[in-house]
Structure 1
Amino acid sequence: MKKEFVVIGLGRFGGSIVKALAEEGMEVLAIDLDEDRVNEYAMIASHAVVGDTTDENVLKSLGIRNFDHVIVAIGDNIQSSILTTLMLKELGIGNITVKAQNDYHEKVLRKIGADHVVHPERDMGKRIAHKIVSTNVLDYLELSDEHSIVEIVASDKMIGNSIIDLDIRARFGINIVAVKRGKEIIVSPQAGDIIQKDDILIVIGTDTDINRFEKKVVQ
Protein backbone atom coordinates (compact mmCIF):
# COMPACT_ATOMS: atom_id res chain seq x y z
CA MET A 1 0.00 0.00 0.00
CA LYS A 2 1.13 3.54 -0.73
CA LYS A 3 1.73 5.60 2.35
CA GLU A 4 0.29 9.09 2.45
CA PHE A 5 2.43 12.00 3.63
CA VAL A 6 1.95 15.68 4.32
CA VAL A 7 4.87 18.10 3.99
CA ILE A 8 4.29 21.52 5.56
CA GLY A 9 6.77 24.17 4.41
CA LEU A 10 8.24 24.05 0.91
CA GLY A 11 11.66 25.61 1.42
CA ARG A 12 14.80 23.73 0.40
CA PHE A 13 14.40 21.05 3.07
CA GLY A 14 10.65 20.52 2.69
CA GLY A 15 10.85 20.73 -1.08
CA SER A 16 13.56 18.07 -1.24
CA ILE A 17 11.40 15.75 0.91
CA VAL A 18 8.42 16.25 -1.41
CA LYS A 19 10.56 15.36 -4.45
CA ALA A 20 12.08 12.30 -2.77
CA LEU A 21 8.72 10.96 -1.60
CA ALA A 22 7.14 11.58 -5.00
CA GLU A 23 10.02 9.71 -6.68
CA GLU A 24 9.30 6.76 -4.36
CA GLY A 25 5.72 6.75 -5.62
CA MET A 26 4.18 8.02 -2.38
CA GLU A 27 1.08 10.18 -2.08
CA VAL A 28 2.19 13.63 -0.91
CA LEU A 29 0.16 16.66 0.13
CA ALA A 30 2.41 19.74 0.01
CA ILE A 31 1.37 22.84 1.99
CA ASP A 32 2.87 26.33 2.21
CA LEU A 33 1.71 29.90 2.82
CA ASP A 34 3.62 31.07 -0.27
CA GLU A 35 1.56 30.61 -3.45
CA ASP A 36 4.65 30.67 -5.69
CA ARG A 37 6.19 27.77 -3.78
CA VAL A 38 2.95 25.84 -3.92
CA ASN A 39 2.77 26.36 -7.68
CA GLU A 40 6.37 25.15 -8.00
CA TYR A 41 5.44 21.78 -6.46
CA ALA A 42 1.97 21.45 -7.97
CA MET A 43 3.24 19.05 -10.66
CA ILE A 44 5.49 17.11 -8.27
CA ALA A 45 3.29 16.46 -5.24
CA SER A 46 0.00 14.57 -5.47
CA HIS A 47 -1.68 17.74 -4.19
CA ALA A 48 -0.25 21.18 -3.37
CA VAL A 49 -2.25 23.80 -1.49
CA VAL A 50 -1.82 27.24 0.02
CA GLY A 51 -2.73 27.12 3.70
CA ASP A 52 -2.02 28.42 7.19
CA THR A 53 -1.33 25.29 9.23
CA THR A 54 -1.49 27.18 12.54
CA ASP A 55 -5.26 27.34 11.91
CA GLU A 56 -6.97 24.19 13.16
CA ASN A 57 -9.88 24.65 10.75
CA VAL A 58 -7.49 24.65 7.79
CA LEU A 59 -5.93 21.37 8.95
CA LYS A 60 -9.33 19.79 9.44
CA SER A 61 -10.54 20.94 6.03
CA LEU A 62 -7.51 19.26 4.42
CA GLY A 63 -8.39 15.94 6.07
CA ILE A 64 -5.05 15.88 7.86
CA ARG A 65 -6.16 13.02 10.13
CA ASN A 66 -6.24 10.68 7.14
CA PHE A 67 -2.49 10.84 6.52
CA ASP A 68 0.12 8.41 7.83
CA HIS A 69 2.92 10.88 8.50
CA VAL A 70 3.22 14.66 8.68
CA ILE A 71 6.57 16.42 8.17
CA VAL A 72 6.72 19.97 9.52
CA ALA A 73 9.52 21.60 7.51
CA ILE A 74 8.69 25.24 8.27
CA GLY A 75 11.78 27.41 7.84
CA ASP A 76 12.63 30.38 10.04
CA ASN A 77 9.28 30.89 11.75
CA ILE A 78 9.76 28.93 14.98
CA GLN A 79 6.40 30.06 16.36
CA SER A 80 4.53 28.68 13.34
CA SER A 81 6.49 25.43 13.58
CA ILE A 82 5.57 25.00 17.26
CA LEU A 83 1.90 25.96 16.79
CA THR A 84 1.53 23.67 13.79
CA THR A 85 3.05 20.75 15.71
CA LEU A 86 0.75 21.43 18.64
CA MET A 87 -2.32 21.50 16.37
CA LEU A 88 -1.28 18.22 14.76
CA LYS A 89 -0.90 16.53 18.14
CA GLU A 90 -4.30 17.81 19.27
CA LEU A 91 -5.83 16.38 16.09
CA GLY A 92 -4.35 12.98 16.92
CA ILE A 93 -1.74 12.64 14.17
CA GLY A 94 0.25 9.51 14.98
CA ASN A 95 3.58 10.28 13.34
CA ILE A 96 5.03 13.78 13.24
CA THR A 97 8.55 14.73 12.13
CA VAL A 98 9.63 18.34 12.68
CA LYS A 99 12.63 20.34 11.52
CA ALA A 100 14.28 22.17 14.44
CA GLN A 101 16.18 25.43 14.08
CA ASN A 102 18.18 25.05 17.29
CA ASP A 103 18.40 23.06 20.54
CA TYR A 104 15.84 25.26 22.34
CA HIS A 105 13.37 24.74 19.50
CA GLU A 106 13.97 20.97 19.72
CA LYS A 107 13.28 20.93 23.48
CA VAL A 108 9.94 22.67 22.96
CA LEU A 109 9.00 20.35 20.09
CA ARG A 110 9.74 17.27 22.18
CA LYS A 111 7.76 18.63 25.14
CA ILE A 112 4.67 19.13 22.99
CA GLY A 113 4.92 15.64 21.53
CA ALA A 114 6.85 15.68 18.22
CA ASP A 115 7.69 12.06 17.39
CA HIS A 116 10.91 12.84 15.50
CA VAL A 117 13.00 16.03 15.50
CA VAL A 118 15.68 16.62 12.85
CA HIS A 119 18.46 19.20 12.50
CA PRO A 120 19.30 18.94 8.78
CA GLU A 121 21.90 21.71 8.71
CA ARG A 122 23.67 20.56 11.90
CA ASP A 123 23.58 16.89 10.93
CA MET A 124 24.86 17.57 7.41
CA GLY A 125 27.65 19.68 8.89
CA LYS A 126 28.70 16.75 11.10
CA ARG A 127 28.63 14.34 8.16
CA ILE A 128 30.74 16.62 5.99
CA ALA A 129 33.24 17.31 8.78
CA HIS A 130 33.54 13.59 9.48
CA LYS A 131 34.25 12.81 5.83
CA ILE A 132 36.80 15.64 5.52
CA VAL A 133 38.76 14.52 8.59
CA SER A 134 39.05 10.91 7.38
CA THR A 135 39.29 10.24 3.65
CA ASN A 136 38.35 6.59 4.26
CA VAL A 137 34.94 7.53 5.67
CA LEU A 138 32.30 7.38 2.92
CA ASP A 139 29.24 8.21 4.98
CA TYR A 140 28.25 9.00 8.53
CA LEU A 141 24.80 8.75 10.09
CA GLU A 142 24.05 9.96 13.61
CA LEU A 143 21.75 7.49 15.39
CA SER A 144 21.57 9.41 18.69
CA ASP A 145 23.55 12.01 20.61
CA GLU A 146 26.28 9.43 21.28
CA HIS A 147 25.94 6.65 18.69
CA SER A 148 26.55 6.59 14.95
CA ILE A 149 26.82 4.24 12.01
CA VAL A 150 29.69 4.80 9.58
CA GLU A 151 30.74 3.45 6.17
CA ILE A 152 34.53 3.04 6.06
CA VAL A 153 36.76 1.89 3.20
CA ALA A 154 39.11 -0.86 4.42
CA SER A 155 42.54 0.64 5.07
CA ASP A 156 45.90 -1.02 4.34
CA LYS A 157 46.10 -1.98 8.04
CA MET A 158 42.92 -4.04 7.68
CA ILE A 159 43.36 -5.71 4.28
CA GLY A 160 44.37 -9.37 4.54
CA ASN A 161 43.35 -9.66 8.18
CA SER A 162 40.34 -11.51 9.49
CA ILE A 163 37.78 -9.75 11.64
CA ILE A 164 38.92 -11.77 14.65
CA ASP A 165 42.55 -10.81 13.96
CA LEU A 166 41.63 -7.14 14.02
CA ASP A 167 39.76 -7.76 17.30
CA ILE A 168 37.77 -4.56 16.72
CA ARG A 169 35.00 -5.23 19.21
CA ALA A 170 37.36 -5.92 22.12
CA ARG A 171 39.84 -3.15 21.25
CA PHE A 172 37.41 -0.38 20.35
CA GLY A 173 33.96 -1.44 21.55
CA ILE A 174 32.42 -1.16 18.07
CA ASN A 175 30.78 -3.72 15.77
CA ILE A 176 31.08 -4.44 12.05
CA VAL A 177 27.44 -5.08 11.12
CA ALA A 178 28.00 -5.58 7.39
CA VAL A 179 30.62 -5.56 4.64
CA LYS A 180 30.00 -4.25 1.14
CA ARG A 181 32.07 -6.14 -1.41
CA GLY A 182 31.31 -4.91 -4.90
CA LYS A 183 27.59 -5.52 -5.44
CA GLU A 184 27.44 -8.05 -2.59
CA ILE A 185 26.51 -7.11 0.98
CA ILE A 186 27.65 -9.51 3.70
CA VAL A 187 25.35 -9.02 6.68
CA SER A 188 26.71 -10.00 10.12
CA PRO A 189 30.14 -11.09 8.81
CA GLN A 190 31.84 -14.02 10.58
CA ALA A 191 34.91 -13.69 12.79
CA GLY A 192 37.03 -15.61 10.28
CA ASP A 193 36.06 -13.48 7.25
CA ILE A 194 39.11 -11.85 5.63
CA ILE A 195 38.96 -8.13 4.85
CA GLN A 196 39.71 -7.58 1.16
CA LYS A 197 40.90 -4.59 -0.86
CA ASP A 198 38.06 -2.12 -1.61
CA ASP A 199 35.80 -3.66 1.04
CA ILE A 200 33.50 -1.13 2.70
CA LEU A 201 32.85 -1.80 6.39
CA ILE A 202 29.60 -0.67 7.97
CA VAL A 203 30.44 0.00 11.59
CA ILE A 204 28.22 0.93 14.54
CA GLY A 205 29.23 2.25 17.95
CA THR A 206 29.62 5.30 20.14
CA ASP A 207 31.13 8.39 18.53
CA THR A 208 34.09 8.23 20.92
CA ASP A 209 34.87 4.60 20.08
CA ILE A 210 34.44 5.16 16.33
CA ASN A 211 36.84 8.12 16.47
CA ARG A 212 39.45 6.01 18.30
CA PHE A 213 39.04 3.27 15.70
CA GLU A 214 39.47 5.73 12.83
CA LYS A 215 42.66 7.20 14.29
CA LYS A 216 44.26 3.85 15.12
CA VAL A 217 43.19 1.62 12.22
CA VAL A 218 41.52 3.60 9.44
CA GLN A 219 43.73 6.63 8.76
Structure 2
Amino acid sequence: MADIENDPVVVVGLGRFGTSLALELARRGTEVLAIDKRSKIVQSLSGRLTHIVAADATDIDTLRELGVAEFYRAVVAIGGDLEASILSTALLVELGIDDIWTKAVSRQHARILERIGAHHIVLPEQDMGERVAHLVSGRMLDYVEVDDNFALVKTRPPREIVGTPLGDTRLRSKHGVTVVCVKRPDEDFTYASADTVLEYGDVILVAGPIAKVERFAERA
Protein backbone atom coordinates (compact mmCIF):
# COMPACT_ATOMS: atom_id res chain seq x y z
CA MET A 1 0.00 0.00 0.00
CA ALA A 2 1.33 3.45 -0.93
CA ASP A 3 2.44 5.89 1.75
CA ILE A 4 -0.38 8.39 1.29
CA GLU A 5 1.11 10.93 3.70
CA ASN A 6 4.13 11.38 1.41
CA ASP A 7 2.23 11.34 -1.87
CA PRO A 8 2.63 14.44 -4.07
CA VAL A 9 -0.08 17.11 -3.82
CA VAL A 10 -1.59 19.34 -6.49
CA VAL A 11 -2.29 22.90 -5.34
CA VAL A 12 -4.55 24.91 -7.65
CA GLY A 13 -4.56 28.66 -7.03
CA LEU A 14 -1.64 30.60 -5.57
CA GLY A 15 -3.20 33.45 -3.65
CA ARG A 16 -2.11 34.01 -0.06
CA PHE A 17 -3.74 30.81 1.19
CA GLY A 18 -2.58 28.60 -1.69
CA THR A 19 0.96 29.99 -1.65
CA SER A 20 1.32 29.52 2.09
CA LEU A 21 -0.02 25.97 1.80
CA ALA A 22 2.23 25.02 -1.12
CA LEU A 23 5.36 26.42 0.52
CA GLU A 24 4.64 24.70 3.83
CA LEU A 25 4.01 21.37 2.11
CA ALA A 26 7.29 21.75 0.22
CA ARG A 27 9.12 22.67 3.41
CA ARG A 28 7.81 19.49 5.02
CA GLY A 29 9.23 17.41 2.18
CA THR A 30 6.03 16.85 0.18
CA GLU A 31 6.34 17.11 -3.58
CA VAL A 32 3.98 19.82 -4.84
CA LEU A 33 2.64 20.59 -8.29
CA ALA A 34 1.46 24.21 -8.04
CA ILE A 35 -0.85 25.62 -10.71
CA ASP A 36 -2.01 29.19 -11.28
CA LYS A 37 -3.15 30.91 -14.45
CA ARG A 38 -1.30 34.14 -13.54
CA SER A 39 2.19 34.02 -15.02
CA LYS A 40 3.50 36.80 -12.74
CA ILE A 41 2.60 34.81 -9.64
CA VAL A 42 4.20 31.69 -11.09
CA GLN A 43 7.39 33.57 -11.95
CA SER A 44 7.62 35.07 -8.47
CA LEU A 45 7.44 31.61 -6.88
CA SER A 46 9.50 29.65 -9.40
CA GLY A 47 12.61 29.79 -7.22
CA ARG A 48 10.76 28.52 -4.16
CA LEU A 49 8.63 25.73 -5.63
CA THR A 50 10.21 23.05 -7.81
CA HIS A 51 7.11 22.15 -9.83
CA ILE A 52 5.05 25.21 -10.66
CA VAL A 53 3.25 26.02 -13.88
CA ALA A 54 1.13 28.78 -15.37
CA ALA A 55 -1.96 26.98 -16.65
CA ASP A 56 -5.73 27.08 -16.73
CA ALA A 57 -7.04 24.61 -14.16
CA THR A 58 -10.57 24.96 -15.53
CA ASP A 59 -9.55 23.08 -18.69
CA ILE A 60 -9.61 19.31 -18.28
CA ASP A 61 -7.22 18.68 -21.19
CA THR A 62 -4.65 20.93 -19.54
CA LEU A 63 -5.01 19.05 -16.26
CA ARG A 64 -4.55 15.74 -18.06
CA GLU A 65 -1.42 17.03 -19.85
CA LEU A 66 0.02 18.05 -16.49
CA GLY A 67 -0.55 14.55 -15.14
CA VAL A 68 -2.98 15.71 -12.45
CA ALA A 69 -5.05 12.53 -12.82
CA GLU A 70 -2.10 10.57 -11.40
CA PHE A 71 -2.21 12.40 -8.07
CA TYR A 72 -3.99 11.02 -5.01
CA ARG A 73 -4.53 14.38 -3.27
CA ALA A 74 -5.35 17.88 -4.52
CA VAL A 75 -6.19 21.26 -3.01
CA VAL A 76 -8.24 23.91 -4.80
CA ALA A 77 -7.16 27.13 -3.09
CA ILE A 78 -9.00 29.53 -5.40
CA GLY A 79 -11.03 32.02 -3.39
CA GLY A 80 -12.00 35.10 -5.37
CA ASP A 81 -13.20 33.46 -8.58
CA LEU A 82 -16.10 31.24 -7.53
CA GLU A 83 -16.71 29.93 -11.04
CA ALA A 84 -13.09 28.82 -11.39
CA SER A 85 -13.16 27.27 -7.91
CA ILE A 86 -16.28 25.24 -8.67
CA LEU A 87 -15.19 24.19 -12.16
CA SER A 88 -11.67 23.21 -11.06
CA THR A 89 -13.12 21.11 -8.24
CA ALA A 90 -15.60 19.44 -10.59
CA LEU A 91 -12.79 18.56 -13.02
CA LEU A 92 -10.68 17.04 -10.24
CA VAL A 93 -13.69 14.92 -9.30
CA GLU A 94 -14.07 13.89 -12.93
CA LEU A 95 -10.39 12.93 -13.07
CA GLY A 96 -10.94 10.60 -10.11
CA ILE A 97 -8.76 12.34 -7.52
CA ASP A 98 -9.28 10.42 -4.27
CA ASP A 99 -8.79 13.23 -1.76
CA ILE A 100 -9.91 16.75 -2.75
CA TRP A 101 -9.59 19.71 -0.39
CA THR A 102 -11.27 22.95 -1.47
CA LYS A 103 -11.23 26.47 -0.06
CA ALA A 104 -14.64 28.11 0.28
CA VAL A 105 -15.41 31.75 0.94
CA SER A 106 -18.94 31.26 2.28
CA ARG A 107 -21.26 28.55 3.57
CA GLN A 108 -23.19 28.64 0.30
CA HIS A 109 -19.97 28.18 -1.67
CA ALA A 110 -19.07 25.29 0.64
CA ARG A 111 -22.41 23.57 0.06
CA ILE A 112 -21.95 23.75 -3.71
CA LEU A 113 -18.44 22.30 -3.44
CA GLU A 114 -19.73 19.46 -1.27
CA ARG A 115 -22.49 18.65 -3.76
CA ILE A 116 -20.07 18.38 -6.67
CA GLY A 117 -17.83 15.99 -4.78
CA ALA A 118 -15.18 17.83 -2.74
CA HIS A 119 -14.13 15.65 0.19
CA HIS A 120 -12.99 18.41 2.55
CA ILE A 121 -14.05 22.07 2.70
CA VAL A 122 -11.89 24.76 4.30
CA LEU A 123 -13.29 28.15 5.32
CA PRO A 124 -10.09 29.91 6.48
CA GLU A 125 -11.49 33.33 7.39
CA GLN A 126 -14.65 32.02 9.04
CA ASP A 127 -12.88 29.22 10.90
CA MET A 128 -10.27 31.65 12.23
CA GLY A 129 -12.93 34.17 13.19
CA GLU A 130 -14.85 31.55 15.16
CA ARG A 131 -11.66 30.37 16.88
CA VAL A 132 -10.65 33.88 17.93
CA ALA A 133 -14.19 34.60 19.14
CA HIS A 134 -13.97 31.60 21.47
CA LEU A 135 -10.64 32.80 22.84
CA VAL A 136 -11.70 36.43 23.28
CA SER A 137 -15.01 35.63 24.96
CA GLY A 138 -13.83 33.00 27.43
CA ARG A 139 -10.96 31.69 29.51
CA MET A 140 -9.58 29.36 26.87
CA LEU A 141 -5.91 29.63 25.93
CA ASP A 142 -6.53 27.92 22.59
CA TYR A 143 -9.46 26.30 20.79
CA VAL A 144 -9.61 23.81 17.93
CA GLU A 145 -12.91 22.55 16.53
CA VAL A 146 -12.21 19.04 15.24
CA ASP A 147 -15.75 18.19 14.13
CA ASP A 148 -19.18 19.82 13.89
CA ASN A 149 -19.78 19.31 17.60
CA PHE A 150 -16.43 18.35 19.09
CA ALA A 151 -13.51 20.51 20.17
CA LEU A 152 -10.11 20.41 21.84
CA VAL A 153 -9.52 23.25 24.29
CA LYS A 154 -6.35 24.45 25.99
CA THR A 155 -7.12 25.92 29.40
CA ARG A 156 -6.22 25.96 33.11
CA PRO A 157 -7.62 23.35 35.49
CA PRO A 158 -10.55 24.55 37.60
CA ARG A 159 -10.04 24.52 41.35
CA GLU A 160 -12.42 21.58 41.87
CA ILE A 161 -10.08 19.09 40.15
CA VAL A 162 -6.71 20.40 41.41
CA GLY A 163 -4.99 18.05 43.85
CA THR A 164 -7.21 15.06 43.04
CA PRO A 165 -6.27 12.13 40.76
CA LEU A 166 -8.18 12.57 37.52
CA GLY A 167 -9.68 9.12 37.86
CA ASP A 168 -11.43 10.29 41.04
CA THR A 169 -12.83 13.53 39.63
CA ARG A 170 -15.56 11.84 37.53
CA LEU A 171 -15.05 14.54 34.90
CA ARG A 172 -16.71 12.61 32.10
CA SER A 173 -19.85 11.77 34.05
CA LYS A 174 -20.13 15.21 35.68
CA HIS A 175 -19.06 17.48 32.82
CA GLY A 176 -18.93 15.27 29.72
CA VAL A 177 -15.27 16.10 28.97
CA THR A 178 -11.89 14.36 29.14
CA VAL A 179 -8.50 15.78 30.11
CA VAL A 180 -6.20 14.47 27.38
CA CYS A 181 -2.84 16.09 28.19
CA VAL A 182 -1.21 18.18 30.87
CA LYS A 183 1.71 20.62 30.78
CA ARG A 184 3.63 21.59 33.89
CA PRO A 185 5.40 24.97 34.00
CA ASP A 186 8.60 24.83 31.93
CA GLU A 187 7.83 21.27 30.78
CA ASP A 188 6.36 19.72 27.64
CA PHE A 189 2.85 18.32 27.30
CA THR A 190 2.43 14.73 28.48
CA TYR A 191 -0.55 12.39 28.29
CA ALA A 192 -2.87 12.52 31.26
CA SER A 193 -3.92 9.31 33.03
CA ALA A 194 -6.32 8.36 35.79
CA ASP A 195 -3.44 8.81 38.28
CA THR A 196 -2.51 12.32 37.08
CA VAL A 197 -2.87 14.94 39.82
CA LEU A 198 -3.25 18.46 38.46
CA GLU A 199 -1.65 21.48 40.12
CA TYR A 200 -2.27 25.21 39.98
CA GLY A 201 -0.19 26.60 37.12
CA ASP A 202 -0.72 23.54 34.93
CA VAL A 203 -2.13 23.85 31.42
CA ILE A 204 -4.47 21.12 30.21
CA LEU A 205 -5.95 19.97 26.90
CA VAL A 206 -9.61 19.05 27.29
CA ALA A 207 -11.67 17.20 24.66
CA GLY A 208 -15.43 16.95 24.37
CA PRO A 209 -18.62 18.32 22.81
CA ILE A 210 -18.29 22.04 22.12
CA ALA A 211 -20.88 23.30 24.59
CA LYS A 212 -19.47 21.10 27.35
CA VAL A 213 -15.81 22.05 26.89
CA GLU A 214 -16.83 25.72 26.76
CA ARG A 215 -18.71 25.42 30.07
CA PHE A 216 -15.83 23.48 31.61
CA ALA A 217 -13.27 26.09 30.54
CA GLU A 218 -15.36 28.82 32.17
CA ARG A 219 -14.83 27.04 35.51
CA ALA A 220 -11.08 27.64 35.36
Q: When the two structures are superposed, what TM-score results if normalisation uses the length of structure 2?
A: 0.90
Show the counterpart of 1:44: 48
Matches within 5 A, 1:179-218: 179-181=182-184, 182-187=186-191, 189-215=192-218, 217-218=219-220
Three-state SS of the structure 2 residue aligned to 1:143 is strand
Q: Work out whether residues 143 and 153 of structure 2, in 8 Å CA contact, stay in contact via their aligned partners in 1.
A: yes
1:20 partnered with 2:24: yes
Matched, 1:93 2:103: no
- Structure 1 stretch displaced more, 57-66 or 177-186: 177-186
Cα distance in structure 2, aligned partners of 1:197 and 1:60: 59
Match of residue 124 from structure 1: 128
Please, which runs of 5 or more residues in structure 1 have no aligned partner? none
Give distance in 1, aligned partners of 2:197 and 2:19. Answer: 44
Q: Is the 8 A contact 1:150 1:204 kept in 2?
A: yes
Report deviation, 1:154.
3.2
1:73 maps to which residue? 77
Aligned partner of 2:63 in structure 1 is 59
**Which residue in the other structure is 2:107 paired with?**
103
- Name which of structure 1's ranges 197-206 and 113-122 shifts more when overlaid on structure 2: 197-206
Superposed displacement of residue 180, structure 1:
3.1
Match of 1:31 among 31, 35, 42: 35
Q: Could you say what the CA RMSD is over the residues aligned between the two structures, in angstroms? A: 1.8
- Offset, 1:184: 4.0
- Structure 1 residue 196: Cα displacement: 2.5
Whole-Å Cα distance in 1 between the matches of residues 187 and 72 of structure 2? 34
Structure 2 residue identity aligned to 1:173 = G
Q: Following TM superposition, by how much is the alpha carbon of 1:38 offset from its aligned partner in structure 2, in angstroms?
A: 1.2
Deviation at 1:40, TM superposition (A): 2.2
Tell me how far apart the structure 2 counterparts of residues 41 and 174 of structure 1 sit (CA, whole Å).
45
Distance 2:175 2:114 in 1: 33
- Structure 2 contact 179–204 (Cα < 8 Å) conserved: yes
Structure 2 residues without counterparts, runs of 5 or longer:
none
Q: CA deviation at 1:7?
A: 0.8
Q: How many equivalent pairs are there? A: 215
SS class of match (1:203): strand
Does the 8 Å CA contact 2:76/2:85 hold for their aligned counterparts? yes
Residues 27 and 45 of structure 1 are in contact (CA less than 8 Å); yes or no, is this contact kept in structure 2?
no
TM-score (norm 1): 0.90
What displacement does 1:112 show?
A: 1.1
